[in-house]
Amino acid sequence: PVMLQIMAIIQRERGSLKGKRAALYLDSMRYLLVHRDLARGLEPLLDADEAIQVLRPLAYEMHVNAKKDELPRHEVEGILQKELQKVKPELSAARLLENIRDRAGVLVGSGADHFMFQHKSFREFLTALEIANRGEVQLLVDHFGEQDWWDEVLLFSAGISSPNIFNEFLKQFFRSEKNAGATPALLLQMMEEAASVAEEPFKDVLNDRELVWQKHYNALKCLRLRLPAEWALKLAKQATRHEQEEVRELAVSILREAEAKEREKDKIPPRLEVVIKEANRFFNPFELNAEYILIPGGEYWFSVTGGKAKISDMYFAKYPVTNKLYRRFIMYLEGDREIAELLQLLPLEEFFQHVKAVAGREDLKNMQGYLETHPRTWAEQLRSRYDNDRRFNQDDQPVVAVTWYAARLYCFWLSLLEWCADEKGEPDWEVLLQDMYRLPHEKEWEWAARGGMRIYPWGNRPEPDVRLANFGENVGRTTPVGSYPEGATPEGLMDMAGNVWEWQENWSSGSSRKYCSLRGGSWLDDPGNLQCAARANGNPLSRGNFIGFRVARPSL
């Protein structure tokens, strides 16, 4: 509650809460320590920056050395007095402590003569400030991955603009052993929070071909977040010549996405002819050139029935749908002019009418009973429940907490966009719903994951571990798609095991049409659910933070 109150005041004074979190916290600290008193006509004991300078070492002592939420009064006063000698020697630590407790409310009493920061994020922010001022970059690298105690300090440190130590952090971290495995989700969050990012750390690591390829891959995942910076595009182009296939493919994907964003910026409507087709894959311009991979058809023993299943050639999205892509769908439903070219291609009212025309179909599982009466409310109805949760809402994380119906509507939207771009005329519902973009049937998904033979998407061995997939709460949240390239299928499909369960097109057998099938396991699950034959089911209205979806397409 205290942070909500402060943010409301900052928003009132600033006019908005836009900006990095570190900058918002700096404004919040200044408000609590000085500006609130000034508004009351009271004279503060120190100016805002002096007060922050005095409190930084206290937070550091608690967090780094003592590893405690609180310290006894005599230790707190000792640290404050030492710092006061630098800014205002005549002021006693006891008086300042009482002032900060009683008027600013940054520190509060705890138990018998102990003190703690009123909100742990105050301590974490001030600790990050002190680390930045000391230039202790290696300390951040050493504690990277200690989730409960250090994640927030690391995130704040990335967002501090003065002094900026994030670029030096990247330079050291990219070369560290902590960057030798799957792409750390926290690293990408730090990139999102960063006050500024320079070319040098990326150039340094990508030009060193003595490093293991995974370090190059992870650096490219970070670089993707700096588009459309010219230096980022230049380095991505260089990486298309990398000797490791996974790195080359990621670099190509980055360039395709940049190309799609450039077209969007210029308000050029996507057209089918700009779908870039290559051997066994295509890039969808309606999803920022998202990559789809051809899975050749065949026959295999389907685990659910025990009988043979015949599968036709089919394209699968390389990744589950991300927050970035799904938010474009929500923006479309809101009529957001940022994606005017899509609204021009498929006017919103036209989309609403098409949905109403098919919502009663049996294969859409009573879609008409799910959707709210007024289409203008659909954006809010279909939005992810975790869209504002920092654990799950990063652009490259898979979208979660969307119903089966929301996932299916996203696919239908893609089909309609392509239909309109190709100027095919009157819609053919059977083609749009079954022969273009849709969710995979679980027998199709299982074939794509196991190739008829494999236990896991990557093969029969090794057993799942932290290099191959996100499972068993080993990360504690979803991870950005493509973070585990060693866990890909031989064809290149990523995240087919772990991260999120994926909605399937079909009802779960024996469920009396109450539950839809789910495949793939999630970040919460034990290793057994990562097997290609593992399955679960969910009410199509389910909105768990462990369920997402992947788009498939039977034909081109």
Strands of 281-284's sheet in order across: 276-278, 281-284, 290-295, 314-317, 552-553
Q: What is the DSSP letter of 456?
A: B
Q: Is the pLDDT of residue 439 over 90?
A: yes
Instruction: Work out the mean pLDDT of the chain and round it to a whole number.
Output: 92
Q: Are residues 72 and 162 in the same domain?
A: no
Answer yes or no: do 543 and 415 share one domain.
yes
124/172 same-domain check: no
pLDDT of residue 15: 60
16-63 tens-digit pLDDT: 555 678 988 998 888 888 877 787 788 889 999 999 999 999 999 999
Residue 236 counted as domain residue = yes
Q: What is the distance between the alpha carbons of residues 139 and 85, in angstroms, rounded to a whole number?
A: 27
Q: What is the mean pLDDT of residues 472-496?
A: 96
Cβ(319)–Cβ(396) below 8 Å: no
Residue 438, domain extent? 312-556
Tokens describing residue 237: 């182009």
Mean pLDDT of 50-77: 97
Tell whether 282 is covered by a domain.
Answer: no
DSSP H helices, 386-518, are 404-421, 429-430, 442-450
Which DSSP category does 65 fall into? I
| Pair 32, 160 in one domain | no
Whether 305 is covered by a domain: the verdict is no
For residues 94-108, average pLDDT? 91
**In a domain? residue 302:** no
Q: How confident is the model over 376-419, as pLDDT tens digits? A: 999 999 999 999 999 999 999 999 999 999 999 999 999 999 99
- Whether residue 139 sits in one domain with residue 118: no
Does some domain include residue 64? yes
Domain boundary among 109, 129, 149: 129
Q: Do 158 and 115 share a structural domain?
A: no
Number of domains in the chain: 3
- Of 34-38, 163-167, 284-288, minimum mean pLDDT range: 34-38
Pairwise CA distance, residues 385 & 391, whole Å: 12
Strands 535-538 and 516-519 turn out to be: antiparallel
CATH number at residue 364: 3.90.1580.10
List, for residues 235-277, the tens digit of each pLDDT value.
Answer: 999 999 999 999 999 999 999 999 888 877 666 666 544 455 6
Would you state the structure tokens that stand for residue 271, as one six-digit string? 């057209």
Q: Do 145 and 20 belong to one domain? A: no
303 within domain boundaries: no
- Can you give the pLDDT at residue 13? 62
Tokens of 13: 């004074």
> What's the pLDDT at 307?
95
| Residue where a domain terminates, one of 207, 237, 265 | 265
The more confidently predicted of residues 556 and 138 is 138
Contact residues for 536 (Cβ-Cβ < 8 A; gap 6+): 501, 517, 518, 519, 529
Q: Are residues 107 and 139 in the same domain?
A: no
Banded pLDDT at 104 (limits 50, 70, 90)? confident
For 490-520, the pLDDT digits (tens) are 999 999 999 999 999 999 976 678 999 999 9
pLDDT of residue 276: 52
| Residue at 301 is within a domain | no
Is the CB of residue 124 less than 8 Å from the CB of residue 63? Answer: yes
Paired tokens of 375: 């289409």
Give the predicted TM-score (pTM) of the model.
0.86
- 108 shares its domain with 163: no
Neighbour tally for 546: CB within 10 Å: 20
Share of the chain above pLDDT 70, in %: 94
Percent of the chain with pLDDT over 90: 82
Residues facing 519 on adjacent strands: 502, 535
Higher pLDDT pick, 32 / 353: 353
31 and 115 belong to one structural domain: yes
Place of tokens 């009410």: 539
Whether residue 367 sits in one domain with residue 239: no
Domain end position, chosen among 129, 151, 186 = 129
Q: What is the mean pLDDT of residues 362-387?
A: 95
pLDDT for the residue 42 = 83
In terms of pLDDT, which residue wins out, 104 or 212? 212
Residue 185 domain flag: yes
Does 260 share its domain with 343?
Answer: no
Is residue 520 within 8 Å of 498, Cβ to Cβ?
A: yes
Per-residue pLDDT at 189 exceeds 80:
yes
